[in-house]
Structure formats: C-alpha cells, structure tokens
Structure 1
Amino acid sequence: MAHIIRPSFLAAAVGVVVLLSPLAAAQLKTDYYASICPNLEAIIQSSVKQSMAQSQIAGPAALRLFFHDCAVRGCDASIMIVNSNGDDDWHNPDNQSLKPDGFQAILDAKAAVDSDPQCRYKVSCADVLALAAREAVSQSGGPYYEVELGRYDGRISTKTSVVLPHTDFNLDQLNAFFSGLGLSQTDMIALSGAHTLGAADCPSFQSRIGTDPSMDSAFAGQLQSTCAGQTFAFLDAMTPASFDNSYYRNLQTGRGLLGSDQVLYTDQRSRGTVNYYAANQGTFFYDFTNAMTKLGRVGVKTAANGEIRRDCQTPN
C-alpha cells in the first residue's frame, strides 16, 4: 500500500466559517442540474468508480477532502486551490496529510463533467466534490443519498485559515468544534463513522499505546507490532475498505485507533449513541446521510460571492 489516509475528518481543517444564508439555502436543490447537465451524477459515478479502481485510497481521500473543505471556508472547493506562492489551505502543515489520490479523483471527475459539451464549465468544483464524496461512501458499501447541489466555488485559499483540532480531543472539545459548524453531538458521532475507511499515521496514536487504559491491551500490542514494521494502521482494521458500522463496534471493545474516536465510548454522554449505531447499521446510515447533508450546507457560496471555476486548482 503505497499511500495512506491520515486521521480523517476529526483532523478536519477549521477556520472562520459562515453558516448557510437563507439565499444559499434556497439555491441548493437535489435537481439543480436537471436541465443544465442532466448526466452529471452518472458521469461522476463512473469517474469515481474508475479512480477507486486505480487507487484503493482514492475514495476515502475524496471523502476526507469534502470534510476539510466544508470546515474551513464552507463547502466551496477552496481546498482544491493551489496558489503559486504556496499560500493556500493545502500548504498548511496540518493539511499535508491530504493525499494526492483524493485531489486527483476530484480533478478527474471535473474533467469528465467538462468533457460533456452540455455540462462544460457549468458545474462547480464544490458540487463535484460533494457528489464524489457521496460516491466514495456508496461505492464502498455505504448508503446512497441524494446530494443537494447549486454551490458556487470560492476564490480564496490561505494557509492561515486552517486550524486543526487534535486527535486527543475530549467530547467537550469535539462538540465545540462541530457546534461551530452548526452540527449537533449526534451529527458529530454519525460523521465520525467515516473512520470506518482509511488509516492513520503511527505518530497520531502511538502515545496511547501502553498508557491509555481505554485501549484494549491486545489491540495495543498489535499496534506496537504494526508500527514497528510500517508507518500506519487502519482506522477500522476489521473491515478497512467497507463503509459499515464496525467502527462503533471497535469502540465498544477498546479498539478505537485515535483518542478522539475512543472518547465517544468512554464518555457516558456519547456512549449510548455509539452502542445504538453499533447495533443498528441502518440507523447509522440514516443519521450519517442527514449529517452529511447538513455539513454540505456550511458556508455555501452564491453567484454574488463565488464563481464556477474552470480549473478547480485556480480561480478564474
């Protein structure tokens, strides 16, 4: 495995986020492109499928990009911008773990959309990213859900706008972070289920091995051995390539990789939700899709303060 996914959205980029305005709310519709680009979803579905076949981390990496994008300046594809002077979101040291496979999956999907004459330069990179994230979930065995569309792309991306929560955050810190995005504790716990995909660098959890009593001792031994031979471990070793509810079952047995994962079970205030999702995958899927929809409304741009980028990496 040549590339890995580092800690997923709990290491999401966070900055000053403007929550959804009434105008932006009105513009988001699941059928926004019905007459503009009627084949949009089929095009992106096919492109992401090809990306995932070429790289086993393309799907999780694309999903992670969506979280990082929405949490900084809102869902405006600013995470995709590459500035010539290096002053952009991605060049913030805390964002260096975002993998090229994810960026490439979005660029390929955008190129596929623009290869359709009816769609060319009419679909925002932000909407391509939102749809690609859904495909990453559904094509990994997770729920297929309708995606609200109609976002415009932002024009600004800076290193200083990126602030990252830590993988050792406690429940209060996690709730404060997600509350800033307009999301509830239930939303946060459901979105945490995205850690059923991908992997994390050993330095992000090694300090827990042998010191954190909430970590299963046998699991700690396995991780010690894993990190002696490679640089990463799967966030969900049970089914690392499948989007399912095993993430929550891992937490029940002290096998949450990151401290910010395991705290969802060790803290009595969130344990009940973890137990419920562990026993009811359908409910987890339902709550996850609702939370993804809410996340997708954060900081949405309109024609007044955004654009439809021709090149996702460069403002027009």
Structure 2
Amino acid sequence: MASYYSSLLTPSTASTLCLCLFLLLAGMSSAQLSSNFYSTSCPKALSTIKSAVTSAVSSEARMGASLLRLHFHDCFVNGCDASVLLDDTANSTGEKTAGPNNNSLRGFNVIDTIKSQVETACPGVVSCADILAVAARDSVVALGGPSWSVLLGRRDSTTASLSAANSNIPGPGLSLSGLITAFSNKGFTAKEMVALSGSHTIGQARCTIFRSRIYNEANINSSFATSRKAICPSTGGDNNLSPLDITSPTSFDNAYFKNLQLQKGLLHSDQELFNGGSTDSQVNTYSSNSATFFTDFANAMVKMGNLSPLTGTSGQIRTNCKKTN
C-alpha cells in the first residue's frame, strides 16, 4: 500500500499536495465568521448581550450611539479586534488616549458588565470583539433602527495601536474627498461611507468639535447656527453637548439626511456630504427613502464588522476586556 501511494507521489504531485494542504490550513486559520458561531458553545450569548444593551439604552438613550461608536472606532484601527478596549499598561499604550477617543469614547462600563455576565454563563468563550459587534447592532435596534445578522467568531488582540487610532479614524474636519479616501482605505465605497455617516442620526458632539463650523462656515442654516451658539460659546464650554441630529436625537431614522438638505449638519464632515458634491444625490435618496437607508446601513455594518478579524488561533479570548490574559 505504501509503495502504491509512493509511486503516485512524484516530486511534482507531492509539492502540489503540500501546497494544497498549506492553503487548506491557512484557510482554516482565517476561517470565515459565522452567525451561529456560539449556538453550541454559548447559546445564551446573544440574548445576554441584547438584554444588557436594551437595559443600558433604556436608562440612557445616548448610550446606544456610544456603543455603536465603540465598534466603529475598534474596526477602523487594525480591524475588529477589541483593541480599543485595552487600558494603558507600564509596557504598552492603548488607543483610549488617541485624539479621536480621548474624553470622547464611552460605554466601556457597559461592555465590562456584558463581558462579566457572558463569562459567568460561558467562561472563556465569547470574545470582547464579538460583544462590541453585537452591542452595536442591538443599540441601533433599541433606538428604532434596522437589524442585521452579526457574523461571529472574532478573537481579541493582544496589542493596541495609538498611532493607528490617531491616523485611521476619520475626523470631523475632513473634506468630502478626505472622507471618501479615509473610507476607501478600508474598502468602502462613497455610497457606503454616506450610509455609515447616517449613524449620526443618534449621539452627541462636544462644543470643541463643532465650534469652528457654527462660527466660521457659511453653508449653515442661520437659525440653527444661532441655537448651537447658545450651547457652545466662542470660548469656554468645550465639553457642552449638542445632538448630531437635532430633529430626533434618540431615534435611529433618516432625519440626519433631511437636516443636511437644510444645511443643519452639526459637524463640518456632516455637511460635506451635502454641499454641491458627488454625494448630494445619495443624501437625497436617503432623505426620501428611509428603507433604502436602513438596508444600505445594515449591509455596510456587516461589511465593517468583517474588517480584518482575528480568527482560528490568532489572538485570544480575553477574560477581562480591559487587559490581555
């Protein structure tokens, strides 16, 4: 029997077989994410996360936007690997103090609560990265937005990158071309960028982020600017908050796009989406058709959740989301 197989394995076929085995193993180590990843290993994972998110958002509607933003800021920095949750240590600097995150990201306590509950049910099984992805979906749903099937099986990073957090997350001062480039660098089309920007239908921004727009820019509704100046003085009050969507700040809907048509975008980057450029038509579409926005947003969120996940034996399943095991 051995000689029979030996005779078949010429140098050429042997090398081909080795290559096939290598590709098979490589494919296994970067296995595709799956919506039923925890169906056997932790069947209560999704219901546990949903219950905690629903409770948190019910207590404070703003938390829904905060949890959605955590997932976004995680995925745009070296993939959806929960690196955003790591605290600084004596040997490494995390991403929490990066410009886009410092004194801005919130919801860490909710994620810690969820992780503790999931660890009680299924120790060492569910990753922090997956909790972020599911919590983002459940937050949108809790505020009246669309649902989508979250693909699961991400693992957690053992490192974070302050420099990547500072350079990869699109800022509120970007031009339209800058926004298109920033999202294109992550594989998103301009259309998907506009859809994801629709997440600004919920959440709030600090005065220091939108002060320049309301005092210096011309493409802004005058009464809207005046009302924001009452919240955000020209000096001081840096941490005063304004809803990104003044129409329905705690409802996930398409009012954000209607506001842009009226030049009521709070951030410079918001109004850039409707300022005589290539994305005006997409804003018009979403403004008039919330169902189309919901569908495109959900699809873009699935795509974002698939940015460079760690799978197989890469990374780890942290027992505490703030630190590596």
SS in 2 for 1:91: coil
Equivalent position of 1:209 in the other structure? 214
In the aligned structure 2, how far is the partner of 1:97 from the partner of 1:282?
A: 34
1:152 Cα deviation from its structure 2 partner:
0.7
1:166 CA displacement: 2.8
TM-score (ref. length: structure 1): 0.88
SS class of match (2:181): helix
Question: What CA distance in whole angstroms lies between the structure 2 residues aligned with 1:224 and 1:23?
Answer: 55
- 1:280 to 2:289 alignment: yes
Q: Percent identical across equivalent pairs? A: 38
Map Cα deviations across residues 209-254 of structure 1 (whole Å, 9 max, x no partner): 2432210111111111122487121100100111000000000000
Instruction: Assess if the C-alpha contact under 8 Å between 1:192 and 1:261 holds in 2.
Output: yes
> Match for residue 130 of structure 2?
127
Secondary structure of 2:279's aligned partner: helix
Aligned residue for 1:168, secondary structure, equals coil
- Are the aligned partners of 2:86 and 2:323 in contact in 1 as well (CA < 8 Å)? yes
1:93–1:169 CA distance, 2 compared to 1 (3 A): closer
Offset from partner CA, 1:64-100 (integer Å, 9 cap, x none) = 0000000001000010111323611002243113344
1:94 to 2:110 alignment: no
Q: In the TM superposition, what is the alpha-carbon distance from 1:22 to its structure 2 partner?
A: 6.0
In the alignment, is residue 314 of structure 1 matched against residue 313 of structure 2?
no
Compute the displacement of 1:262 (Å): 0.4
**Matched position secondary structure for 1:94:** coil
1:88-115 Cα deviation digits (max 9, x unpaired): 1002243113344x11111111111112
Of 257, 269, 292, which aligns to 2:301? 292
In the alignment, which of 78, 82, 86 is matched to residue 77 of structure 1? 82
Deviation at 1:24, TM superposition (A): 7.1
Give the corresponding residue for 1:8.
none
Secondary structure at 2:145 match in 1: coil
Q: CA deviation at 1:267?
A: 3.4
* 1:65–1:98 contact (8 Å) kept in structure 2: no
Separation in structure 2 between the aligned mates of residue 236 and residue 22 of structure 1, nearest angstrom: 43
Give the Cα separation in 2 of the matches to 1:77 and 1:295: 14
Q: Deviations over 1:157-180 (max 9, x none)?
A: 132232243312111111110011
- The Cα RMSD (Å) is 1.8
Which structure's relative contact order is higher, taking Cα pairs within 8 Å and 6+ residues apart?
1
Q: Is the 8 A contact 1:202 1:231 kept in 2?
A: yes
Instruction: Identify the residue that residue 183 of structure 2 maps to in structure 1.
Output: 178
> Is contact 2:77-2:161 (8 Å) kept?
no
Describe how 1:61-72 pairs up with structure 2 within 5 A.
61-72=66-77
In 1, the alpha carbon distance for the partners of 2:163 and 2:322 equals 18
Given the alignment of the two structures, is residue 145 of structure 1 paired with residue 151 of structure 2, yes or no? no
Q: Secondary structure at the match of 1:233?
A: strand
- Structure 1 residue ranges, 4+ long, deviating more than 3 angstroms after superposition: 21-26, 97-100
SS in structure 2 of the partner of residue 74 of structure 1? coil
Q: d(CA) in 2 for partners of 1:251 and 1:303? A: 43
Matching residue of 1:4: none
Q: Gaps (5+ residues) in structure 2? A: 1-25
1:41 alignment partner in structure 2? 46
Q: Which TM-score applies when normalising by structure 2?
A: 0.86
Shift in Å, 1:46:
0.5
Show the counterpart of 2:161: 158
Query: Which of these two proteins has the greater Rg computed from alpha carbons?
Result: 2
Q: For residues 125 and 169 of structure 1, do their structure 2 counterparts lie closer, same or farther at Cα, with a shift above 3 Å needed? A: same
More deviation, 199-208/67-76: 199-208
Give the Å deviation of 1:186.
0.8
The runs of 5 or more residues in structure 1 that have no matched partner are: 1-20
Contact preservation (8 Å) 1:61, 1:98:
no
- Paired with 2:29 and 2:50, the residues of 1 have a C-alpha distance of 25
C-alpha distance in structure 2 between counterparts of 1:170 and 1:25, whole Å: 36
Q: Is the 8 A contact 1:24 1:301 kept in 2?
A: no
Looking at structure 2, the residues matched to 275 and 22 of structure 1 have their Cα atoms a distance apart, in angstroms, of 42
**Partner of residue 11, structure 1:** none
Q: 1:63 to 1:22 in 2, by over 3 A?
A: farther
Distance (whole Å) between structure 2 residues aligned to residue 174 and residue 24 of structure 1: 33
- For residues 16-48 of structure 1, what are the alpha-carbon distances to aligned partners after superposition, in whole Å with 9 as ceiling and x for unaligned? xxxxx9657743011111111112111111011
- Structure 1 residues 22, 59: CA separation in 2 closer, same or farther (over 3 Å shift)? farther
User: 226, 250, 253: which one pairs with 1:221?
Assistant: 226
Which residue type is aligned with residue 283 of structure 2?
A: V
